[in-house]
Structure 1
């Protein structure tokens, strides 16, 4: 398997915005690792020209930049952070399989239940209470476009599911401080961020958490990790950093062929659902865990853009 190449001493750059729950997951993982990092704020809705200059089309939040390497999706970002600083571990050896399975459930099923509940009419009104009416309308239109074709959970059904999932988390926490034992792992960070959104961004709806005091105590333990040591950076400066750098060399075995698409082919990669904008480039690697595309941008230069295999669709571009 091709290892993830992260040059020693690299300072990661997180492209994010404050109210993004997945960005909170990334910020908290950076805090858990005690890392210095650079913080680039991006718009919460399209257009995002500086972000797209780096990704080639992908617009979900956050992305992690290291020089001219662009890492998409927090599932892959977590792996990059583990390579950047192995301890404390997000993937403890004894928990790797279970932790990834719980994390995938939390990033999808739990997340959509939490969002369906938290962004109902009352939650949306709270989130945009101090903004002009057009801000809420623009956000709703943007997220509607991102979720085109998806089956969205209605608020009442989402509330029922959310309550059940919170009880299940409470059962997991019975007699132990973290979801899978005495130490936190990727499962904790994935389960935390949708609950953070409810508790911190729509507090009038946070009473749903009160029935599970074990979950609230766990959330306090998670929040205590903080966000590490961020330094502000402008988006144009991040693009200049990419332009001045060369992508990291690919090492190890770079090809697991599940699609009949040869390395060197022109391809697109897109999320399976929600935010399905495509990134097009030359396929440099298709490892057991991720894809790497090479692309060029007039401002950012030569880039390697990386995506997880799970949750993403690879297609060949045919003439």
Structure 2
């Protein structure tokens, strides 16, 4: 049974950078499958059934969606060094959820001002730039996005608050990094690396840049290039891992074994349809079959996702 970690990602994806750094923090070996940054993504969808956000973690025929769940999987895979230290188990998760949502979207609104967009698209052809813009517009269809004028004071305030934390410690909550550091880092990384023309927002928070350098120094672990077709072959030749005996938590009146859809609450709201195998306190698992990938289990966190009975 394949137990290799296969990450489906692309270099400029901020959420992929979050996971790449977690892999480096834990010094885990992993295989890198580079995927398109825009739809269509036929090889990704063969595994997920519809989910198209980046990154996706594959272990054999098990497909894990959303970085919050991926971090949990990696913590279970290698508990030390800990992403969720016992004395920070609650606060680190709450901070990470804020960073992955409020901080991330505030930073993106800042980044997508005209100077930032020009830097981001500088190396793209006009056609590729237009395709990227249209793709993200479709992903944002159910979202209210901040304007740059509204995001600017919020982003500066958040950076000052982060600076106050890392002026006292090497990392956000102490001498060692935890999940909060990786969740906060990736949005700021995009500003600094992908839209450097607007990175002057860091001018008055040098402690934040020093903290970012410490996080970046953790590296990306032991990576090996892998093809999308080879990853699909791995799934087709594997059996999904046995499910643990987690308690079924029914909040919807939908029985296990039902055909359901799971959809992100916002941003990239493509649905994945399959048979509901698990609805635990923290996650959902769907079984689905694809002509190329075979039978796979697709896993989602409960927080941030909507479960519905499939139309029949």
Extract unaligned runs of 5+ from structure 2: none
Equivalent of 2:80 in 84, 87, 92: 87
For residues 208 and 71 of structure 2, what CA distance do their matches in structure 1 show? Answer: 23
Residues 127-146 of structure 1: pairs in structure 2 closer than 5 A:
127-146=120-139
For residues 185 and 3 of structure 2, what CA distance do their matches in structure 1 show? Answer: 27
Contact 1:14 1:62 in 2 (8 A): yes
Instruction: Report what 1:61 is aligned to.
Output: 54
Give SS of 2:276's match.
strand
For residues 95 and 119 of structure 2, what CA distance do their matches in structure 1 show? Answer: 30
For residues 246 and 55 of structure 2, what CA distance do their matches in structure 1 show? Answer: 28
Deviates more, 1:102-111 or 1:156-165: 156-165
Extract unaligned runs of 5+ from structure 1: 1-6
1:219 to partner: Cα distance:
0.3
1:119 to partner: Cα distance:
1.7
Give SS of 2:200's match.
helix
For residues 205 and 246 of structure 1, what CA distance do their matches in structure 2 show? Answer: 47
For residues 152 and 174 of structure 1, what CA distance do their matches in structure 2 show? Answer: 31
Equivalent of 1:188 in 176, 181, 186: 181
Deviations 1:167-210 (A, max 9, x none): 11112223111111221110000000000001111112111112
Give SS of 1:177's match.
coil
Within the alignment, does 1:78 sit opposite 2:67 as a pair?
Answer: no
Structure 1 residues 141 and 318: alpha-carbon distance in aligned structure 2, compared to 1, 3 A threshold: closer
Instruction: Tell me which stretches of 4 or more aligned residues in structure 1 moved more than 4 Å.
Output: none
1:254 to partner: Cα distance:
4.1
Equivalent of 2:260 in 246, 267, 290: 267
Instruction: Report what 1:179 is aligned to.
Output: 172
Q: TM-score, normalised by structure 2?
A: 0.98
Residues 93-104 of structure 1: pairs in structure 2 closer than 5 A:
93-104=86-97
1:10 to partner: Cα distance:
2.2
Would you say how many aligned residue pairs link Structure 1 and Structure 2? 312
Within the alignment, does 1:120 sit opposite 2:113 as a pair?
Answer: yes
Residues 1-319 of structure 1: pairs in structure 2 closer than 5 A:
10-319=3-312
Q: TM-score, normalised by structure 1?
A: 0.96
Give SS of 2:173's match.
coil
For residues 318 and 233 of structure 1, what CA distance do their matches in structure 2 show? Answer: 37
